[in-house]
Structure 1
């Protein structure tokens, strides 16, 4: 392990920086850390000589594991402001959980190439939404009925767990489409992140089989080295991002980030064909 640390100091610094960056973005823009962590780990692991297919499944599982402590911290913060909708969570929790179990089980079974494509699509759509729909009026006046909400919540759990994100990337824009208050959408998404990340990471840790080319410190599909590098900085820097939000033009920063995310999503999609 000591030899590994000394030989990969630049990579470890990159992982620590990823944690700091993800924490700042979470506090500054309300963007879930997973949307940053997954692509960074995807490319960093390939730097270890890991295949793109293995890198994606390990990045997905490790990202979900990092979301567990950060979502707990975020829930406390949002709950103090009254922005967590527990009534909605009661209606959605079971369906999200079912979606997560199916999605995380699929991650342990499918080729990582499919997950790379799915992440690329979700990242690209998320970036386009941030670029062109921010501030736009809702398409619907209220949430759909029980069947519609069951479909929404199951889909959030399924797709979020399959690409290693906490749910905010999908649930916030989806809720705001239905005229749901943006501040409550962000706060409730933090709680959704915990419902997704905890069972998702546990499933991939227990049922996942480490690929033959997995980097050192990988248990199941979760890489402990990356987890330990990222989590402390993410938790530490989330309040820094929240403080910066009061001083900087978050709208302009969000557009810059959305362009970077768009490029990342397209790059991951191109890797499937190049």
Structure 2
């Protein structure tokens, strides 16, 4: 089993603290749970620390889902206390989302690493296009669909969120606003969806990555107690506090910017991160 020496451990800890602060600031700035921010940053960190490319992306995704849990729970409780959460949507999407999360966890165990990059690139660029060129008048309907259509949306949100390592806000906010829901209600309801996705998603990535430590016994960052499955414990524990502390600074910065400038800034970030993974897909 591989092990860190003291200098390596301190270096990794320092980088993770910086990653947490950056992720928290950007999450506060752009008003999302942080998964879309965390995955690209963690990817570069794990690349620097020598995590094999075969398991690098799923390790980022699983760790991101674990980091989201406390923020999602705190956000959901706050929104629910204000009466902003649409509990009907949560009830309708709970089981479909769980099915999507389970499917995503199974894919994570057996799919090649490129699958995660393809999903991230496609979704990030689609969201960036919407942010750059979308109009408030764009609508798919006057209200969310009933029956199978509604359940299908829940399953898709759960599946794609699990493969990207995000809490689902990127998808659910887009869906709800395209069906005429108020953005504030969409954000509040998405916080509940993040709880439904992040907790079982984290468990799923522990299952999916269980064989990874045995496959790469010389990679310290994959070994217990530094990681369990595809969840980096040292990463989660060091990123969570600094992420939570830095988020208010991002919120303060966001309030100093116009809505349109925020959309353009987040769209540019998603485009650049998508481009980073697209280049990795082409050149390895």
Q: Using structure 1 for the length normalisation, give the TM-score.
A: 0.91
Residue number in structure 2 paired with 1:119: 120
Q: CA deviation at 1:200?
A: 0.8
Instruction: Report the Cα distance in structure 2 between the residues aligned to 1:233 and 1:2, rounded to whole angstroms.
Output: 25
After superposing on structure 2, the runs of 4+ consecutive aligned residues of structure 1 that deviate more than 4 Å are 1-5, 8-11
In structure 2, relative to structure 1, the CA distance for the partners of 1:241 and 1:82 (3 Å cut) is: farther
Q: How many residues align?
A: 274
Deviations 1:155-202 (CA, angstroms, capped at 9, x unpaired): 000111012111001111111111111111111111111101100101
Residue number in structure 1 paired with 2:153: 152
Deviations 1:214-273 (CA, angstroms, capped at 9, x unpaired): 442121111111111211122223334334433333431331232122011022022111
Residue number in structure 2 paired with 1:23: 24
**Preserved contact between residue 79 and residue 188 of structure 2 (Cα < 8 Å):** yes
**Preserved contact between residue 42 and residue 55 of structure 1 (Cα < 8 Å):** yes
Instruction: Report the Cα distance in structure 2 between the residues aligned to 1:75 and 1:240, rounded to whole angstroms.
Output: 20
CA-atom RMSD, angstroms? 2.1
Residue number in structure 2 paired with 1:86: 87
Q: Structure 2: which 5+ residue stretches go unaligned?
A: none
- Map of 1:125-274 to 2, 5 A cutoff? 125-133=126-134, 135-208=136-209, 209-211=211-213, 212=216, 214-216=219-221, 217-274=226-283
Q: CA deviation at 1:4?
A: 4.2
Instruction: Report the Cα distance in structure 1 between the residues aligned to 2:234 and 2:259, rounded to whole angstroms.
Output: 32
**Preserved contact between residue 108 and residue 208 of structure 2 (Cα < 8 Å):** no
Residue number in structure 2 paired with 1:56: 57
In structure 2, relative to structure 1, the CA distance for the partners of 1:144 and 1:190 (3 Å cut) is: same
Q: CA deviation at 1:142?
A: 1.1
Q: CA deviation at 1:38?
A: 0.6
**Preserved contact between residue 28 and residue 250 of structure 1 (Cα < 8 Å):** no
